[in-house]
Chains A and B, each alone.
Chain A
Amino acid sequence: MTWENYFMPSTTGEVLALLEQHQGQARLVAGGTDLMVQHRWDPLEVKSLIDIGRVPALKEIREDHGRIYVGAAVTHSQLVDSALIQGKGRVLAEAARSVGSPQVRNVGTVGGNVVNAQPAADTAIALVALDALVHVSSPGKEREIPVAEIFLGPGKSSIDPAKDLVTAFSFSAPDSRERTYFVRFARREALALPLVNLGLWLQLEEDGHALKDIRIAVGPMAVVPYRARKTEASLKGAVLNEEILKKAGHSISEEVTPRDSFRGSAAFKKRLIGVALKRGIERALDLKGVDRHER
């Protein structure tokens, strides 16, 4: 490998001190699953790595004043196994469960998944659907940014791993009228990149029928994780039935702009996203039984 120093601090304070001390010459690494592959032979832009996987505060999942906090170094496996996330962030648990393989989930972190900003990062899609906030610490300052705003392009986010420490993601705990769901279609059942992934958050009116509000996050349908706002708008206030769902499916297929690639044509992905939305809403509201294959 191509780095010369490897630090394993145990508090966020130490992390920030190291960042400050190295003045952009050290970068953070969490699971490192992408880094280890990309930089086996290719030089890294910095000489030092700061591994945040030993900072207990960054590995916490907790609920506080109606918000759920997920530490940046929380692994996908932790999300899958967390009763809190299963109960109050189903879309995130399911998204985490669909990542790679058990081995990758045991190591890869939600922070890494988001900061690396791949257009189809499963947990990033889920966090966008949850309208999560990113909590960022830099030497001497703290920020909170809506997660959807940090994505700049494929592989690019506004979080600089040589300057900024993402400490956590947070989202408001859902009330009894809110539901979430995650749908993913891939070439195979494991170890696969998604052809289409869709994170869903929806809120029902008090009568339990009409949709009061909905957020639909999708990938890889644009260069960054993307909210299908037109389709969201068309669904707000709707009373759900087969007809509406079919229309929503068409609407989102029209709205998204995926690219043709050898992994799948744009037309195919457009079609799948429509199916994903329809099935996602059905499953989220338990209109039909959950298909064991769809995760």
Chain B
Amino acid sequence: MPGKRNVLKKGKGEIMKFSNLGKETPILDGLEKVTGRARYVPDLKMEGMLYGKVLRSPYPHARLVNIDTTKAARVPGVKDIITGKDVSQHRFGPMVPDWVILPDDKVRFHGDEVAAVAASSEEAAAEAVALIEVEYEELPAVYDPELALEEGAPLLYEEKDNNIAATFNVHSGDVDEALAGSDIIFEETYKTNQVYQAYMEPMAAVAVPGDYERLIMWLSTQIPSMSRLRYAEALQMCAEDLRIIKPHVGGGFGAKFEYKSHILAAVLTRRTGLPVRMVNNREEDFRAGNPRVPMKIWVKLGLSRDGTFLAKDTRIIAGNGARTVYAPAITSTACYRIDSLYKFKNVRSTGYTVYTNTIPTSCFRGFGNAQMHFAMESALDTICHQYDMDPIKLRQHNGVTPGFTSIHGWEIKSCALEECLDKAAQESNWYEKKKAPKQKGPVKKGIGVAICNHVSGNRPFFKPFDGSSALVRLTPEGKAIVFTGEADIGQGMNTAFALIAAEAVGLNVKNVRTAAVDTDISPFGLGSFATRGSTIGGRAVYEAAVNLKKQLLEHISRVYEKETDQITINNGNIYFDDQEKPVPVAEAMQTISYTLGGTSLVGQGVFVPDTVLPDENKYGNVSPAYPFGCHIAEVEVDTETGRTRLLNYWAAHDVGRVINRQTLEGQVEGGVIMGAGWALGEDMVINDGVLLNPNFHDYCLPTAMDIPEGHIYSYFLESEDPNGPFGAKGIGEPSLNPVPAAIANAVFDAVGVRVKTLPITPEKILEGLESG
């Protein structure tokens, strides 16, 4: 039931009010953040700690002829220097084993790791890095994925006969026949550029020798448990001997997965026996982070005269950079995820993930789906313009509906897509604004729409399983602590977990907190990606809380001699049917605990979604729940300067259930501005393999003065997903997916210029205006 707030149907038409959900709850870890006491990895200091620094390649492609560390080693304070000669050359990697700890043969991008130093001060480490003498033999290089595909292109990995890191194919139905039978055929090529996540806390790690010869790593990471597995592989040690702790994280947006310098910190710590802190400076974070996978996307669509989608044909060439992080999975997502936004009957996609001598690319909010949304939603806008169809109605006509199973076997259990379109159209005054005559002066207004889907968990991401588990521990003081392996990186997930646990047990959220992830204590959690936290992690927390409540009821029943069905727990109080005065949970818990040797009650919860690992043709329900949304952007374009400004923005999202209205809005507003930055100017400018703008003055992410002059309006529709905790689905990535297309479509509406290559710069608009 979209649009409803704070109520849950409890079978038999009974309505339940929430005491914790649906409200504006400030994040529970906000106090330490506003006081500056929150500790992030770069704030950690250990006795005897060394400072690590990486020497990075000044060439995009070069053979390492000789490395001389003699002078560097003489710098006072230098404790260790490692090069490829000092480390094992076994290969590993998140998707493809093309990583080594440090190479001993060649470097493959400008910024590639050549050596690492550990010294007693940052200054000494920097000085030593500058004194390492490396003899390089420059090799021919290739930067453009299309050129890298050509016969005779320089090879990044000589043992392969081409530069293809991965190929993806999917074909369902009969695309050729459907195209032959289409009334409308549309074909176009779009390009999405390389952009940087620009989390405010750079990549960081502190490695510390632990007891029992174990290694402790404090990481700024989205994936504590998965990185533990991967780093164990890299360091050739047992995963159990690695303990990962994730303190506060200053944003990630997809970048903070497996990272080379984390491993280098670990190696230096193992060699020196001393703690090592390795923090990127901003320039190296730009040069060797994990930016968005750039794509060239060719799309062909077939429609019937009434606007029904008949066929989609796609070909994508994606830039992998010099080694593989997650670009193959991102390419495959771009190839086929959007097929389950619409009721497609025939689809075909081919994707190539191609090595180039540039920065390795990886996840960035939207994971390939964002790139494809720009292409698809721009294409639909052009079709609507050419064939005089209404962009809202065309999408409602073809969009998926509740109960629909998509062409790839995705089961759409909950879906308020149609309502999202109506809501955004109504609130933005869409139909009137579309009809309004254009302004007379040089500045023109325009309005554009785009919709989106996404997942809430992605079954194929980690092959062995998807799912999550959690513990909720109720202390003798009546306070609950949630233990999860899922990583809050600033989105407010820990607060959402606490709200879910509080609601499920009947506590006040003030008495619930979520513990920092520590692999020695927390359950295994795959981490923050695929918009899975609230849904999958949250459901595990919910199950743990339900389990805890069951135990709690049994103990209350025993201690107070009441039948369990006579007991209600709500907002921290225990109510008995035959007694007016409630008993506080804290009071009952003390009695329970003190009669049982001081025990805490621990609820354990497991959620294994009924998802299916897709088969060879990508058929299989990948996610327990699918979020949807509709965005409408209103812009003005200055036809003399080409400059586009955002005026207002309307975002309607089907989130299943509102857990915390405040952080949901925060995700939407942040996603919209991040998407707007990408759409209107963010761009990593790479010339001959060298990034020209590795700083915040030339890489222009939005400032407070660049946000809409008016407002970003958020609306949440509650479709109550059967799998999500209390029906909740994810929001992180859907909040960004439709943004570039919504803005591109608004620009087109304003000035009639269709920009098909991101970003939508003033130059491109002026060019478009000139060529008419």
The reply to whether B681 and A188 contact each other, CB–CB distance below 8 Å, is yes
With A and B bound together, what is the CA distance between A101 and B762 in angstroms?
A: 23
A275, B645: Cα distance in complex, Å: 17
Q: Does A268 belong to the interface (CB within 8 Å)?
A: yes
- The CA-CA distance from A293 to B762 in the complex, in Å, is 15
Which residues of B, 121-149, contact A by the 8 Å Cβ criterion? 126-127, 130
Contact yes or no, A268 B700, CB < 8 A? no
| CB of B692 within 8 Å of the partner chain | yes
Binding stretch for chain B, among A109-117, A189-197, A214-222 = A189-197
Q: Is the interface of A mostly helix, strand, loop or mixed?
A: loop
Contact indicator B645/A293 (Cβ below 8 Å)? yes
- By a CB distance below 8 angstroms, the chain A residues around B697 are 191-193
Collect the chain A residues with CB atoms within 8 Å of residue B642's CB.
268
The answer to whether A41 and B126 have CB atoms under 8 Å apart is yes
Confirm or deny: A92 has a beta carbon within 8 angstroms of a beta carbon on chain B: no
Given A41-B130, A262-B693, A268-B763, residue A189 in contact with residue B703 (CB < 8 A): yes
Nearest-neighbor residue (CB-CB) of A288 within chain B: B441
Partner of A265, one of B692, B700, B763: B763
Task: Report if B186 contacts A (CB, 8 A).
Answer: no
Given contacts A41-B126, A185-B643, A275-B640, contact A193 B698 (CB under 8 A): yes
B579 within 8 A of A: no
A271 at the interface (CB under 8 A from B): yes
Nearest chain A CB to B674 CB, angstrom units: 14
- Distance, CA A185 to CA B643, complexed state (A): 9
Q: Tell me, yes or no, whether A143 is within 8 Å of chain B by CB.
A: no
Contact of A188 among B126, B127, B692, B703 (CB under 8 A): B703
Contacting residues, chain A, for B640 (C-beta < 8 A): 275
Q: From known contacts A262-B692, A262-B693, infer whether A187 and B700 are also in contact, taking CB-CB under 8 Å.
A: yes
- Decide yes or no whether A263 CB sits under 8 A from chain B: yes
A188→B702 contact, CB < 8 A: yes
CB-based contact B763/A190 at 8 Å:
no
Residue of B nearest to A189 (CB): B705
**Which of A41, A187, A265, A271 neighbours the largest number of chain B CB atoms within 10 Å of its CB?**
A187
Q: How far is the CA of A192 from the CA of B766 in the complex (A)?
A: 21
Residue of B nearest to A2 (CB): B123
B560 at interface by CB-CB < 8 Å = no
Residue of A41, A263, A293 near B698 (CB, 8 A) is: A263
Give Cα distance in the complex from A188 to B641, angstroms: 13
Bound CA–CA A268/B764 (angstroms): 10
In the complex, A188→B705 CA distance in Å? 8
| Chain B residues near A271 (CB-CB < 8 A) | 766
Q: A58 in the interface, Cβ–Cβ < 8 Å?
A: no
B703's closest neighbor in chain A, by CB? A190
Please encode chain B, from 632 to 670, with 1 for each CB lying within 8 Å of some chain A CB and 0 for all others. Answer: 000000001111010000000000000000000000000
With an 8 A cutoff between CB atoms, is A202 at the interface?
Answer: no
Residue of B nearest to A191 (CB): B703
Q: Is A13 an interface residue (CB 8 A)?
A: no
Closest to A187 in B: B700
Is A237 in the interface zone, CB < 8 Å from B? no
Q: Contact between B641 and A275 (Cβ–Cβ < 8 Å)?
A: yes
Q: Size band of the A side of the interface?
A: 10 to 19
User: Is B436 part of the binding interface, using a Cβ–Cβ cutoff of 8 Å?
Assistant: no
Who on chain A is nearest to B704 by CB? Answer: A190
With A185-B643, A264-B763, A275-B640: A191-B685 Cβ-Cβ less than 8 Å: no
Nearest Cβ in chain A — how far from B464, in angstroms?
A: 44
| Contact-size category for B | 20 to 34
Closest to A1 in B: B123
Q: Is A272 an interface residue (CB 8 A)?
A: yes
Q: Does B687 contact A (CB under 8 A)?
A: yes
Question: Which of B127, B645, B687, B762 is the one whose CB lies under 8 Å from A262?
Answer: B687
Q: A191-B696, A191-B697, A262-B692 are in contact. Are A272 and B641 (CB under 8 A)?
A: yes
Bound complex: CA of A171 vs CA of B704, how far in Å?
A: 35
| Cα–Cα distance between A189 and B49 once the two chains are bound (Å) | 41
**Which B residues lie within 8 Å of A193 (CB)?**
697-698
Q: How far is the CB of B647 from chain A (nearest CB, A)?
A: 12
Chain A 113-124 per-residue mask, 1 if CB under 8 angstroms from chain B, else 0:
000000000000
0/1 string, B751-762, CB within 8 A of A gives 1? 000000000001
Q: Which residues on A sit within 8 Å (CB–CB) of B645?
A: 293
Residue B187 interfacial (CB < 8 Å): no
Residues of B within 8 A of A293 (CB): 645
How would residues 670 to 703 of chain B score, 1 for a CB under 8 Å from any chain A CB and 0 otherwise?
Answer: 0000000000010001010000110011101011
CA of A82 to CA of B693, assembled, Å: 35
**B762–A268 touching, CB < 8 Å:** yes
The interface residues of chain B lying within 8 Å CB-to-CB of A192 are: 697, 700
Instruction: Kindly supply a per-residue 1/0 record for chain A positions 190-211, scoring 1 wherever the CB is within 8 Å of any chain B CB and 0 otherwise.
Output: 1111000000000000000000
Query: In the complex, how many angstroms separate the beta carbon of A179 from the nearest chain B beta carbon?
Result: 22
User: C-beta contact mask, A158-202 vs B, less than 8 Å → 1, else 0?
Assistant: 000000000000000000000000000101111111000000000
**With an 8 A cutoff between CB atoms, is B706 at the interface?**
yes
A101 to B696, CA, bound (A): 12
The B-contacting residues of A in range 266-291, CB under 8 angstroms, are 268, 271-272, 275
How close is A280's CB to chain B, nearest CB, in angstroms? Answer: 13
Nearest residue in A to B683 (C-beta to C-beta)?
A: A262
A185: which B residues are within 8 A, CB to CB? 641, 643
Q: Which one of A187, A190, A263, A268 lies within 8 Å of B705 (CB-CB)?
A: A190
Beta-carbon contacts under 8 Å, B687-735 to A: 687, 692-693, 696-698, 700, 702-706
**A192–B703 CA distance with the chains assembled, in angstroms:** 10
Question: Are B700 and A262 in contact, CB atoms less than 8 angstroms apart?
Answer: no
- Interface residues in A237-266 by Cβ distance below 8 A to B read 262-265
Q: Is the CB of A262 within 8 A of B685?
A: yes
Bits for B284-299, please: 1 = Cβ < 8 Å to A, else 0: 0000000000000000
Complex Cα distance, B698 from A185, in Å, reads 14
A271, B639: Cα distance in complex, Å: 12
Whether B766 pairs with A268 at a CB distance below 8 angstroms is yes
0/1 interface trace, chain A 19-41, chain B, CB 8 Å (1 if under):
00000000000000000000001
Find chain A residues with CB under 8 A from B706 CB.
Answer: 188-190
> Given the complex of chains A and B, what is the CA–CA distance between A101 and B693 in angstroms?
19
Q: How far is B608's CA from A251's CA once the two chains are assembled, in angstroms?
A: 70
Residues of B within 8 A of A264 (CB): 763
Residue of A nearest to B442 (CB): A275
A294 to chain B, nearest CB (A): 9
Find chain A residues with CB under 8 A from B705 CB: 188-190
Write out, one digit per residue, whether chain B residues 736-772 have a CB within 8 A of any chain A CB (1) or not (0). Answer: 0000000000000000000000000011001000000
Give A264's nearest chain B residue, CB to CB. B763
Contacting residues, chain B, for A188 (C-beta < 8 A): 681, 700, 702-703, 705-706
**Cα-based distance from A272 to B761 in the complex (angstroms):** 13
Nearest-neighbour CB distance to chain A for B576, whole angstroms, equals 60
Q: Which residues of A contact B700 (CB under 8 A)?
A: 187-188, 191-192
Contacts of B692 in A (CB 8 A): 262
Q: Which of chain A's residues have a CB closer than 8 A to the CB of B693?
A: 262
Which residues on A sit within 8 Å (CB–CB) of B696? 191
| Distance to closest chain A CB from B45 (angstroms) | 21
Inter-chain contacts of A275 with B (CB < 8 A): 640-641
Distance between Cα atoms of A6 and B640 in the complex (Å):
49
- In the assembled complex, which residues on chain B have CB atoms less than 8 Å from the CB atom of A268? 642, 762-763, 766
Report the minimum CB–CB distance from B650 to chain A (whole Å).
22
Shortest CB-to-CB span from B682 to chain A, Å, is 10
* Residues of chain A within 8 A of B685, CB atoms compared: 262
Q: List 14 A-B contacts (CB under 8 A).
A: A41-B130, A187-B681, A188-B703, A188-B705, A189-B703, A190-B703, A191-B700, A192-B697, A192-B700, A262-B685, A268-B762, A268-B766, A272-B641, A275-B640
Beyond the given pairs A188-B700, A191-B703, A268-B763, 10 more chain A to chain B contacts, judged by CB atoms under 8 angstroms and listed by A's residue number, are A187-B681, A188-B702, A188-B706, A189-B706, A190-B705, A191-B696, A191-B700, A192-B700, A262-B698, A272-B641
Closest 7 CB pairs between A and B? A189-B705, A190-B703, A262-B685, A187-B700, A275-B640, A188-B700, A190-B705
- B residues neighboring A (CB under 8 Å): 126-127, 130, 640-643, 645, 681, 685, 687, 692-693, 696-698, 700, 702-706, 762-763, 766
